[in-house]
Amino acid sequence: MTDENTQTPDRRAIGVFDSGVGGLTVLHECLVNLPHEDFIYLGDTGNFPYGPKSLAEVRRLAFAAAARLASEDVKLIVVACNSAAAAALPQLQSSFATPIVGVVMPGARAAVQATRERRVGLLATEATVRSNAYQNALHTLDAGLEVFAIAAPRLAPLIQGGDVFSEEIEGAAREAVAPLKAAGVDTVILGCTHYPLISPMLRRLLGPHVSLINSAEETAREVAEILARKEIDNDREREGRYRFLTTGDAEEFRDVGARFLQLPIREVEQT
């Protein structure tokens, strides 16, 4: 093992992509936990949302996004979109030389650790539920788990659209969690990176005895572990930079994205 004091810093950025601005919740956790690293975030807002699309189409879009980040010579790619990770992560990992991590396994691992009754709910997009990626990951970790997967197609577009405290969003959230409450789950995975923005609402609707699993937090921990294990982390004494790319409207991305990132977004490049 290379001595920590003599390790050469790897100054390349970490790439993060999502179908829209939801992955900024993942980037936020990475910025908090890895303040010395540089990041490039690609929001594929021109093709948002991924959830209703076929798995083949989501896979195609995921490959295009990963290739765009790889062209920036990033040292690690984070698939911060649950739909893309669910549809394409193994294929991406086998096709690119750059290490790639998704949000599915970190979230599944945290859910298995959190559940007491081994009854786990998944709230996600249609594409993520259809892929069975979370269900397979959970059963790989604990074959005895009961998993209740609920698609909530209305939530991500409503959350991205603006007012996360609206009655319309509350109605959609109430409708989505009703079957999970009926199933008696004690743990719910937020299987879309948009959902952390309505965590307080979901906590109230599900009740205090249900654990919410935010894949963003778990993914940031996994990124830190990978950087350390591969010895490709940057100098810890510096403050990292971050920049943004979007396939959609740059000004709209900047305005909406700041709510998700909880930090200023000064410039956005259209790509």
- % residues pLDDT > 90 (the chain): 92
Q: Tell me which of 96-100, 146-150, 208-212, 255-259 is least confident.
A: 255-259
CATH 3.40.50.1860 domain locations along the chain: 14-102+217-270, 105-215
- Catalytic-role residue among 180, 192, 226, 245: 192
Mean pLDDT of the chain: 95
Instruction: Give the residue-averaged pLDDT of 204-227.
Output: 94
Give the pLDDT band of residue 3 (cuts 50, 70, 90): low
- Answer for the pair 155, 202: CB distance below 8 angstroms, yes or no: no
Q: Is the pLDDT of residue 5 over 60?
A: no
pLDDT at 217: 87
Flag whether pLDDT at 2 surpasses 70: no
Handedness of CA 132, 134, 138, 141 (dihedral sign): positive
| Closest residue by Cα to residue 82 from 26, 121, 32, 40 | 26
pLDDT at 1: 45
At residue 165 the predicted structure's pLDDT band, cuts being 50, 70 and 90, is confident
Distance CA 216, CA 239 (A): 21
Query: pLDDT tens, 183-202?
Result: 999 999 999 999 999 999 99
- Residue 192 is among the residues annotated as catalytic for this protein: yes
> Which architecture characterizes domain 105-215 according to CATH?
3-Layer(aba) Sandwich (3.40)
User: Is the model's pLDDT at 270 over the cut of 50?
Assistant: yes
Q: Which residues, other chains included, contact 241 with Cβ-Cβ below 8 Å and sequence gap of 6+?
A: 38, 39
In order, the DSSP letters of 54-93 are -HHHHHHHHHHHHHHHHTTT-SEEEE--HHHHHHHHHHHH
The per-residue pLDDT for 127 is 94
Other C-beta atoms within 10 Å of 267: how many? 8
CA distances from 92 to 22, 49, 98 (A): 20, 20, 9
Of 2-11, 74-83, 235-244, minimum mean pLDDT range: 2-11
**For position 164, what pLDDT does the model report?**
87
The tens digit of pLDDT for each residue in 22-72 reads 999 999 999 999 999 999 999 999 999 999 999 999 999 999 999 999 999
pLDDT digits (tens, 9 = 90+) for 114-125: 999 999 999 999
Rounded average pLDDT over 215-223: 91
Residue of 121, 181, 125, 180 whose CA lies nearest to 158? 125
> Are 219 and 85 spatial neighbours (Cβ–Cβ below 8 Å)?
no
Peptide linkage before 153 cis (omega within 30 of 0): no
Q: What is the mean pLDDT of residues 88-110?
A: 97
CA-closest candidate to residue 164, choices 262, 45, 260:
260
Cβ neighbours of residue 130 closer than 8 Å, sequence gap 6 or more? 55, 151
At 8, which amino acid appears?
T
Question: Catalytic one among 14, 24, 74, 81?
Answer: 81
Q: Based on the residue annotation, tell me whether 81 is a catalytic residue of this protein.
A: yes
Residue type present at position 236: R
Cα–Cα distances (Å) from 102 to 17, 78, 86, 159, 250, in that order, read: 10, 6, 8, 22, 25
Split at pLDDT 50, 70, 90, the class of 161 is confident
Quick one: pLDDT at residue 110?
96
The CATH fold assigned to 14-102+217-270 is Rossmann fold (3.40.50)
User: How far, in Å, are 134, 153, 164, 181, 199 from residue 173 at the CA level?
Assistant: 20, 10, 11, 12, 10
165-180 average pLDDT score = 96
Distance in angstroms (rounded) separating the CA atoms of residues 15 and 69: 6
